[in-house]
């Protein structure tokens, strides 16, 4: 029997490009080409100068844990619980929410260094997740 897969994020004209980058293992951050302000999640207009012109940069994938939550319920088919969801402060300054993997919920600490990893589902869907970074 085929098990249920991950619920796919909605992909629109405004954010589909971001998922295309993720599929190539690039963690993209949208950038206004008028004032160079970074923004995430993707959206059409710069909230600083209202320009509609943008490109993006590839983030380093490094950041720190700003906040997190651990999902226990409700449990949807196709996921393994508990699921830790992190709010990551990227070193570029933007914040992103993503699943935190490779660590038990009890071991999570605020401010811990994280790095992006790209998790491919059996159906080929690629999802950026974060895991504890190697300490230097």
Binding status of residue 8 toward Zn ion by CB under 5 A: no
Supply the minimum distance, in Å, between the C-beta of residue 13 and Zn ion: 19
- Which helix (DSSP H) or strand (DSSP E) does residue 22 occupy? helix 16-23
DSSP strand pairing (95-100 vs 126-132): parallel
Cβ proximity to Zn ion, 49 vs 70, nearer residue: 49
> How many residues make contact with Zn ion (CB under 5 A)?
8
The residue among 37 and 99 lying less far from Zn ion, judged by its C-beta, is 37
Taking residues 31 to 60 in sequence order and writing x for each that binds Zn ion by CB under 5 A, - otherwise, the string is -x-xx-x--------x-xx-x---------
34 vs 119, which CB is nearer to Zn ion?
34
In terms of Cβ atoms closer than 10 Å to its own Cβ (0-12, 13-18, 19+), residue 84 is buried
Q: Shortest Cβ distance from residue 49 to Zn ion (Å)?
A: 3
97 binds Zn ion (CB under 5 A): no
Distance between CA atoms of residues 20 and 11, nearest Å: 10
The closest of 52, 13, 17, 14 to 32, measured between CA atoms, is: 52
Quote the distance between the C-alpha of residue 29 and its chain's center.
10
Residues in contact with Zn ion by CB under 5 A are: 32, 34-35, 37, 46, 48-49, 51
């Amino acid at each position: 029997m085929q098990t249920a897969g991950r619920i796919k994020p909605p992909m629109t004209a405004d954010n589909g490009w971001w998922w295309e980058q993720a599929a190539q293992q690039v963690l993209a951050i949208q950038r206004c080409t008028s004032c160079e302000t970074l923004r995430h999640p993707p959206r059409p207009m710069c909230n600083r100068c209202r320009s509609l012109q943008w490109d993006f940069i590839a983030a380093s994938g490094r950041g720190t844990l700003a906040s997190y939550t651990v999902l226990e319920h409700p449990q949807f088919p196709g996921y393994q619980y508990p699921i830790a969801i992190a709010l990551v402060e990227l070193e570029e300054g933007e914040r992103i929410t993503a699943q935190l993997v490779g660590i038990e919920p009890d071991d999570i600490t605020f401010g811990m260094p994280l790095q992006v990893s790209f998790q491919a589902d059996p159906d080929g869907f690629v999802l950026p997740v974060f895991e504890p970074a190697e300490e230097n």
